[in-house]
Amino acid sequence: MGHTKGSRKRRRVEKQAVSQTNNHGDDEPFDWWFHFSRRLTGPLALSKEPGRFESIFKISRMTFNYICSLVSENLVAKPTNFAYNDGTILTVEDQVGVALRRLSSGESLFNVGISFQINPSTVSQVTWRFVEAMEEKAINHLRWPNSEAEMESIKSKFEKICGLPNCCGAIDTTHIMMCLPCVDSSNNVWIDLEKNHSMVLQAIVDPEMRFRDIVTGWPGSLDDNLVLHNSAFFKLCEKGLRLNGRKMELLSKGSQVREYIIGDSGFPLLPWLLTPYQEQNLSEFKAEFNKRNSAARIVVHRALARLKETWKIVQGEMWRPDKHRLPRIILVCCLLHNITIDLEDELQNQVPLSHQHDSSMYKQQFCDIIDNNGLILRDKLSQYLSGNLPP
């Protein structure tokens, strides 16, 4: 997204969000925060200005207003009795604030309820209604590029980052930890390599760390290859319905390279998914490819690390979560992550850009599946990068 286009979008979003927020009552948006902040207790009440709002919700006021404008219709469609302990009914902004705090802090329902003077069960219900509304109204913020121009922009930015031509994305997985009762034998399938209960999130990102495709809900015991093969993305690629766009000419002599994504050694080497060379004593051109492969994968590492650092409900160990609802919560956290990028929220740049989103044990997976067409493409790219592509 270019700077000019992004600036126009921000102005359009600000106008829409403020208009929508003002429809909830006579108060201006600032007055809502003034009254809401006076209810805060505990450590939240001790937060000091400036930046108090941002420190609590991890997003800017502009982004908050935009999110309210997205979910407002859904939240007011069904009359509720969601109220503070003093009986005051929660407004749309109140509900969004409570839900965002729950997702961004990862604190228990009890602690969030104490901070906002709300019953923990109300925190749970408000958060879930927010999740449902976001699934319906914000899903357009997580999509595969739908135009050649958009995909060409992604390819160009990846080539600037890592020097790989015609690269359309980087893929990786991360584990969402869960605390499940060990006495229930049916929970054993969720035990992963580190003997933790976890759920897998597979993500494909663009150069700006925006999630373009995600898969979640699978048990942590499954390796990267199995999760990939069970994904809709895999099926679309195998049918030629994705990553089947414009080929790029490498040299004037007619050598071409198709569209592809980059992954680590836990994934199979496929015609549209290129992984590193694994043998010892790599030649110069193979070592150069691995270097570029690693540079591309840094983008997805940082995206997943930022997701967990900003939306901490998926960072720590979730206490006996509903395994049917958890994937939807993960999806909404990914949507919120993308919204901050789409709106160019300045607060996103304040989150440390760590490369670590999982412990090293999870990165020791190795997949030995090699498709010959993937092998040919990887060798062709490696030779091209080293200037040794034969005529």
Q: What are phi and psi of 357, to 5 degrees?
A: -120, -15
Q: State the DSSP code for 388.
A: -
Q: What per-residue confidence (pLDDT) applies to 254?
A: 67
Number of other CB atoms surrounding residue 182 within 10 Å:
10
Q: Is the dihedral of CA 128, 129, 131, 135 positive or negative?
A: positive
- 19 token code pair: 């208009």
Given the DSSP bridges, would you call strands 273-274 and 260-262 parallel, antiparallel or unpaired? Answer: parallel
- Do 71 and 97 contact (CB within 8 A), yes or no? no
Domain boundaries, the chain: 3-137, 145-385
Angle between helices 61-77 and 29-37 (to 10 degrees): 90
- 317 token code pair: 């160990």
Q: What per-residue confidence (pLDDT) applies to 29?
A: 46
Q: Is the dihedral of CA 302, 104, 312, 181 positive or negative?
A: negative
Spatial separation of the C-alpha atoms in residues 190 and 181, rounded to whole Å: 11
Determine whether 151 is exposed, middle or buried from the number of CB atoms within 10 Å of its CB (0-12, 13-18, 19+): buried
- pTM higher than 0.95: no
Q: What per-residue confidence (pLDDT) applies to 50?
A: 56
Q: What is the mean pLDDT of each run of 10 residues along the chain (391 residues)?
A: 47 47 44 87 74 87 96 89 94 96 95 96 97 97 96 97 96 95 86 92 98 97 96 98 93 79 97 95 92 96 94 90 94 98 88 68 83 95 77 44
Q: What per-residue confidence (pLDDT) applies to 51?
A: 66
